[in-house]
Structure 1
Amino acid sequence: MCGGGLAGFCAAVASARHGAKTCLVQDRPVFGGNSSSEVRVTPHGAAAFHVYAKETGIISELLIEERARNHEPIFENGWTNSVWDMTMYDMAQRTENLTFYLNTTILDVRMAGERKIASVVGYVANAETEIEFVGDVFVDCTGDGLVADRAGCEWRMGSEGREEFAEPHAPLLASGDVMGSSLLFKTKDIGYPAPFTAPDWAAKLDNPDFFYKQGRNPNDMRGGYWWIEIGMPWNTVYENEDIRHELTRYVLGIWDWIKNRDPLTKELAANHAIDWIGQVPGKRESRRIMGHYLMTEHDPQNKTVFDDEIAYGGWFLDLHTPGGLLAPTSEHASSEGYDETSPYMVKSYCGPYGIPLRSTIAKDVDNLMMAGRNISVTHAALGTVRVMATTALVGQAVGTAAAIALKRGVALADVPTQAIQEVKQTLLRDGCFLLNTMNEDELDLARKARVTASSQAALHSAEVRADLSASGERGPQDDFLQQRKGQWIAISEGVLNRVSVCLSNWSDVPQIVEALIIPVDHIWDYRTEATPAIAATKLLIMPGKYQWIDWDVHLDETTGLKSGSYVRLDLLANPNLVWHCAAGIVPGQTCAYEMGEGKMRRDWNGPTRSFRVEPPQHAYRPEYVTNGVTRPYRFTNLWRSDPHEPLSQWLELKWEEQQSIKQVEITFPGSLLWEYRGYAPFYRDPQCPKDYRIEAYVNEEWQELLEVKGNYQRHCRHALAQSVQTNKLRVVIEATNGDPSAAIYEVRCY
């Protein structure tokens, strides 16, 4: 594995965990690439735009561990500290079959014929040591595609013209334009005036239009400005040092503007001092290596279903303006003030969408794969695929596929057809999520069990905060119905007699709001016009605050209601009304609003809007832990105990015949709702079980097989000391990290 950013790191750990002797070569002193403490870009991904779309697998293990260990909040870019570096280093040290070399730069690639790499040559900085790395499979995670370039692979760099693939985001004419690199800085409020004098060689900036009319808003004195970005006219590969110097000049010039020149920020920044300035530019784009499939913008936009899907993305089509600080305006969404309903944002919003394995296999070299921002995509598609949480998923898939190819003796080019089911099922077992694949592992004994539990929660309602309803004030996410809003509701009973919502009419006259109930395919089905409503009405709302409005719908399967699926309750726009949020997030019940052109997007950070349903829906049944999906998607897919019943609570698997069980694997809830920076220091998700034990029924009594204390990880694997013969096994949850309910997404037994 050449390159130790998140893609290369996850590829190496995955490969080693699956038995391949793996070597990870990284040219920096720390792992993490752009996410490391050297660059400090926070890992973004699908969860920034889609509730419950947080990336899982190795990247989830790392981020959960970092938040549990780290005292530092993650405000924005620039706030990563060395705890993150050490979290990755610790995992690398503990991974069997993994050898790594830091501070080691790849200098050369040696070929065995035209289509096979024999070795790569690295140079260890400060050690005057040259190392030749010989392998069967090589993975280029260098970002710049260094290995592929030296091996003679075809690559692209720059922007495809619109006529080549008819991509809406492509420029009319092809060019060498690429997205630029950013240099970050961080400040600290020291509590007293902190003067700053810029050196003579710093950039001289004195035009407020450069900032406030061109999308470069110094909106927070703490730093983290991704828009300190430069690429063109410099080459992002060969002139990286020139870019670094120019960016340093601009960091100091921008801080001089904020501290000493800008009347809007001088007072705010008076007590802030520079705490850190990066000296490794965070690079967005250079070479893209051509693989067996070239993803275009149409794939994320149309959510193309690939037979060889091995990862997913969900960041928007975020194409930064070539030139960055030297361009007339900053990145387009920023220059619009991040207007979420503008035509540009409607056009750019996409996902979640799948990524094919073929885009990670080099077409010109038989034993080379790619992971990271250098995979086989167009410039336009790279706008969404390039973000680090997405590349981490791709990396884990590539490492897994490489190990399986070696184990089975399958050529890399044949894995997408001959071994793809094993790759996908392995990824699921390792805690990943795929949009179009569920657990079908024939070795998983839990799939044959009957599942029961000590109790189960029922979905009655999502109630509003009592203090707000008593005062009549709006909550922080209680905005007016300027656009259509929708609330997903899980249906388990096949019957829905009544639905109610809590609304406030802030006008002095009665108001009418149109309401619809629409069947949806899943929680990211944002279409407003594609599926006919199965119920529609106009609700009359009298003047007044916090009114529960009832709607007798009398729906069942004869009218289009389906058990084990979601409906979306939509209220159309009426700017005089507020649809209040619930006091807390009800698991699996999310909301969105209409952004335009028949498309919705996540509302705020994924709260639950207030609602009540009759009859209650049993949306958290124990049998869901073996349905093959480990997060809310087409349904809740979660067992959750009755929150009114005290812990401990248990989930039991029962077989008709004795089973020999050696390993138990559990997926708990937690750390799915938001992206990484949404979680506080020392965070342990309240929903995640903390103390639990696994028991087996042996000789007519329950015997404890193992006990866990202090857990906060989502995906837990337990190899038993010895195989147990039993026809009943149960997980007993004695304490969570704060939630009143015990909860599990999946149990597997082997």
Structure 2
Amino acid sequence: MIKEESTHKREPKTLALASDLVIIGGGLTGTCAAVTAARAGLKVVLVQDRPVLGGNCSSEVRLWILGATSHMGNNNRWAREGGVIDEIMLDNINRNPDGNPLIFDIVLLEKVVQEANITLLLNTAVYDLDKKTGTDTIETIYAFCSQNSTKYILTAPFFCDSSGDGIVGFLAGAAFRMGAESMEEFGEKFAPDKAYGELLGHSMYFYSKDIGRPVKFTPPSFALQDITEIPRYKTFNPKDFGCRLWWLEYGGRLDTVHDTEKIKWELWKVVYGAWNYIKNSGAFPEAETMTLEWVGTIPGKRESRRFEGDYLVKQQDIVEQKKFDDTVAFGGWSLDLHPADGVYSDQSGCNQWHSKGVYSIPYRCFYSRNINNLFIAGRIISATHVAFASTRVMATSATGGQAVAVAAAIAKKYSCTPREVGELYLEELQLELWRSGQYLPQTKISDPDNLVEKANITASSSLQLHELPGSDHWANIEHSVAQMLPIHGKMPAMTVWVEASQHTTLNVELRKSSKAFNHTPDITLEMRSFALAPGKQEILLDWAENFEEECYAFVCFIKNENIKIQASEKRVTGILTVFNATNPAVSNYGKQEPGEDLGVDTFEFWCPQRRPEGRNLAFTLAEPIRLFEPENIRNGFHRPIASPNAWVAAFDDQHPEITVEWNSPVGVSTIELVFDTDFDHPMENVIYVHPETVMPFCANDVEIFNDQNELIGSIKENHQTKRTINVAQSAATRYLKIKVTNSNPNVPASLFEIRAYA
């Protein structure tokens, strides 16, 4: 029993925690940063002011995670983000293909609690901090947990603010911006005017379900009474739920930090008014048996403060895909601005303009320019309002969190500031990021410690791509379709099979991208036309083009609904078909054509279809494509870019294996393998139902033998991109023999990388 009487002021229970890195904000960015930092050996305290991790992608908000893949609606091929965010998405699709947001919560939570170096503080909000006397260095952060009535005093040499509103940066006096820059400040032609508004608002979603019997809905008194106040009210329907209602947005004319509660109430008013309209207007009889299953209790925030680093990413950097020496992350979402009036605006809910490929984000955007030990990550990084319109999305932000975590480990190692990491240890930073799975566009990485770089590499076979055999599937050319093929040298003659329903003309174009690392077919090299009679027939495409550098050729069959073309069931790493169709969800209407000079490009969209569609075309080549050799496993790239960058076994190789051999014995203690988990797949974590739990290109099983034919490592039932094998007894060996199995009969075994370390 406790009995205490006192009139003196009491202090809450107080705990002091010291660590190497304190991360404020447990959204997807902070979660990925914490896991990455912990694995790099840092002691981490992760502070999250909500009861779950994930922020906007948690079950509290339920926004899908997206980034450079943009729902497969742009020309960014093989662009899904790597590293910890990739690991999370692959685990989720493996365990949760139906997109249950509660299951995704536990996927995130498990990633954090499995790391012994992480101390997780949920329901804990930062409210104050101290700086070292007379300096711009944060010394202590103060936070309070309402659930256990405990005050935390957090000290560390480094802090990372990924809190969304930038509470730590704000309290510390870090330079920040809020609102939109004028067009004149940075020459950004897409900068909005006052009528459009300077801030993006918040959103709130709802879920509904059919329970099979009539159900009544009585709206609360605060629900919006006149749904016609919303210009887009006629777009409400019983089928849409969750973040498909992303346009239920409000607050861009208010203070999106301090007016959040006011914005929340207005969004509740809209949500319950919308459901009242669906249930009780009589316009939707199918809603009679539907009930409201869930409504968000906190709004999903898009924009508030943006903190200044040593560089601000701007519109031109994204559109022109500027190359930075200090690239540490990348993006590929569109420049996606929303009218500040949100759901009450008579304008389109968003205004999206895409670039022709992915873009780089420099390290100088991820630390405060005036607070010495403060990293910044998430939507608050150093970017203009227009550039932020792209960098703000969660998967892109997650790559920044990973960059910050690795930088913090290097800063601790050398007892230097975040700025000095970029000035003195940039090469090490980029190498460690690459090792962790981060993709760094237009950046070549060499790993001097990788023993494979000094080895001879052979394989039981390598794919000589001479044909993809035909199937019973003949697809109508409803939309123009292109077979993407990696080419270096003379374009081989290609034979395809078509069927015409009447006398008609087939038009075929050979295209490529103006930049070899892009996949926008904006240059037409040759054109062919064929007069077709009714029936099936063979078409020979004899090209004259010679490709002087590795790149993808697009053999484009132009739309003609009177023609079918034969498809193949074979799928191959680095081989893909794309379609000049539409995807209105990301403002893709087949071609991007700005009606005025907004500083963005005009080009066509050629995008893949989701499986089980999106088959390759059936074809034969006069000369085989030989770009799938085992040497690719050490070329410095771990995804297709201008070439497949993978070793791929021959179709008929029943026991594919690759051998890494040295001139003299070497000691190997760690082996890392990188698999093809289809970086073209966005793997949305909610709403979508995915037909696969393991990507078809991903090798399932691996066995590794030494020169004594001893099994020194194995992987079973793999679904991940990167796997590490720690060799129990690292006795010296002359070679490693890696046996690779892919159980999918239509996909040959492949590997992007093999790395070995002493």
Q: Structures share a fold, TM > 0.5?
A: yes
- 1:410 equivalenced with 2:413 (yes/no): no
Which segment is superposed worse, 575-584 or 231-240?
A: 575-584
Match of 2:529 among 539, 552, 575: 539
Give the secondary structure class of the aligned counterpart of 2:493. Answer: strand
In the superposition, relative to structure 1, how do residues 673 and 258 fare at CA in structure 2: closer, same or farther (>3 Å)? same
Distance 1:176 1:119 in 2: 37
In the superposition, relative to structure 1, how do residues 234 and 517 fare at CA in structure 2: closer, same or farther (>3 Å)? closer
- 1:628 equivalenced with 2:636 (yes/no): yes
Give the secondary structure class of the aligned counterpart of 2:641. Answer: coil
Cα deviation 1:462-511 (Å, max 9, x = unaligned) = 45541x43xxxx45xx4244xxx54321126x3444123444555x4432
- 1:479 equivalenced with 2:478 (yes/no): yes
Q: Which amino acid aligns with 1:633?
A: I
Q: Which amino acid aligns with 2:554?
A: R
Cα deviation 1:287-338 (Å, max 9, x = unaligned) = 00111101111111110111111111111111111121122234235xxxxx
Which segment is superposed worse, 298-307 or 611-620?
A: 611-620
Cα deviation 1:575-598 (Å, max 9, x = unaligned) = 766666654644312335462565
Match of 2:728 among 700, 716, 721: 721
Unaligned runs of 5+ in 1: 75-79, 334-344
Give the secondary structure class of the aligned counterpart of 1:20. Answer: coil
Cα deviation 1:400-443 (Å, max 9, x = unaligned) = 11111111223211222211111111111111211122340100
In the superposition, relative to structure 1, how do residues 287 and 40 fare at CA in structure 2: closer, same or farther (>3 Å)? same
Asked if 2 retains the 8 angstrom alpha-carbon contact of 1:159 and 1:175, the reply is: no
- Equivalence for 1:395: 401
Match of 1:490 among 478, 486, 490: 486
Distance 2:131 2:542 in 1: 72
**Shift of residue 516 of structure 1?**
2.7
Match of 2:659 among 652, 655, 664: 652
Match of 1:254 among 266, 274, 284: 274
**Shift of residue 640 of structure 1?**
1.8
Asked if 1 retains the 8 angstrom alpha-carbon contact of 2:510 and 2:553, the reply is: no
- Equivalence for 1:98: 118
Asked if 2 retains the 8 angstrom alpha-carbon contact of 1:319 and 1:383, the reply is: yes
Asked if 1 retains the 8 angstrom alpha-carbon contact of 2:697 and 2:742, the reply is: no
Cα deviation 1:540-586 (Å, max 9, x = unaligned) = 13143664421222x5xxx6334754323245566766666654644
Distance 2:194 2:264 in 1: 29
RMSD: 2.6
In the superposition, relative to structure 1, how do residues 580 and 279 fare at CA in structure 2: closer, same or farther (>3 Å)? farther
Cα deviation 1:179-201 (Å, max 9, x = unaligned) = 01111111122233333232232
- 1:232 equivalenced with 2:252 (yes/no): yes
Cα deviation 1:595-615 (Å, max 9, x = unaligned) = 256523342437355243221
Please give the TM-score of this superposition, normalised by the length of structure 2.
0.87
- 1:499 equivalenced with 2:525 (yes/no): no
- Equivalence for 1:743: 750
- Equivalence for 2:425: 419
1:462-611 → structure 2 map (5 Å cutoff): 462=468, 465-466=471-472, 468-469=473-474, 474=475, 478-481=477-480, 486-491=482-487, 494-503=489-498, 505=500, 508-511=502-505, 513=507, 515-518=509-512, 521-522=515-516, 524-526=518-520, 528-529=522-523, 533=525, 536-544=526-534, 547-553=537-543, 555=544, 560-562=546-548, 564-571=550-557, 582-583=568-569, 585-590=571-576, 591=578, 593=580, 595-596=591-592, 599-605=603-609, 607=614, 610=617, 611=619
Alignment: residue pair count: 704
- Equivalence for 2:296: 278
In the superposition, relative to structure 1, how do residues 720 and 518 fare at CA in structure 2: closer, same or farther (>3 Å)? same
In the superposition, relative to structure 1, how do residues 461 and 60 fare at CA in structure 2: closer, same or farther (>3 Å)? same
1:4-403 → structure 2 map (5 Å cutoff): 4-48=26-70, 49=74, 50-70=76-96, 73-74=98-99, 80-112=100-132, 113-172=134-193, 177-207=198-228, 210-211=231-232, 216=235, 218=237, 220-224=239-243, 225-261=245-281, 263=283, 266-333=284-351, 347-349=353-355, 351-403=357-409
**Shift of residue 223 of structure 1?**
4.2
Q: Which amino acid aligns with 1:270?
A: E
Cα deviation 1:360-385 (Å, max 9, x = unaligned) = 11011010110000011111111110
**Shift of residue 23 of structure 1?**
1.1
Which segment is superposed worse, 508-517 or 239-248?
A: 508-517
Distance 2:661 2:549 in 1: 25
Distance 1:64 1:568 in 2: 29
Distance 1:708 1:348 in 2: 40
Asked if 1 retains the 8 angstrom alpha-carbon contact of 2:62 and 2:242, the reply is: no
Cα deviation 1:109-157 (Å, max 9, x = unaligned) = 2111341111111001122211111111111101001111101111111
In the superposition, relative to structure 1, how do residues 592 and 115 fare at CA in structure 2: closer, same or farther (>3 Å)? farther
**Shift of residue 350 of structure 1?**
5.0
**Shift of residue 679 of structure 1?**
6.3
Give the secondary structure class of the aligned counterpart of 1:541. Answer: strand
**Shift of residue 525 of structure 1?**
3.6
Match of 2:443 among 396, 417, 437: 437
In the superposition, relative to structure 1, how do residues 613 and 562 fare at CA in structure 2: closer, same or farther (>3 Å)? farther
Give the secondary structure class of the aligned counterpart of 2:69. Answer: helix
Give the secondary structure class of the aligned counterpart of 1:731. Answer: strand
Q: Which amino acid aligns with 1:500?
A: T
Distance 1:174 1:253 in 2: 27
Distance 2:470 2:188 in 1: 44
Please give the TM-score of this superposition, normalised by the length of structure 1.
0.88
**Shift of residue 693 of structure 1?**
1.3
Distance 1:132 1:149 in 2: 18
- 1:686 equivalenced with 2:696 (yes/no): yes
Unaligned runs of 5+ in 2: 1-22, 581-589, 594-601
Cα deviation 1:673-703 (Å, max 9, x = unaligned) = 21022662771223222222111113xxx11
**Shift of residue 514 of structure 1?**
5.0
Asked if 2 retains the 8 angstrom alpha-carbon contact of 1:649 and 1:742, the reply is: yes
- Equivalence for 1:342: none
Give the secondary structure class of the aligned counterpart of 2:361. Answer: strand
In the superposition, relative to structure 1, how do residues 614 and 221 fare at CA in structure 2: closer, same or farther (>3 Å)? same
| Identity within the alignment, % | 31
- 1:449 equivalenced with 2:459 (yes/no): no
Q: Which amino acid aligns with 2:306?
A: R
Distance 1:137 1:499 in 2: 58
Asked if 2 retains the 8 angstrom alpha-carbon contact of 1:589 and 1:608, the reply is: no
Asked if 1 retains the 8 angstrom alpha-carbon contact of 2:479 and 2:579, the reply is: no
Q: Which amino acid aligns with 2:321?
A: K
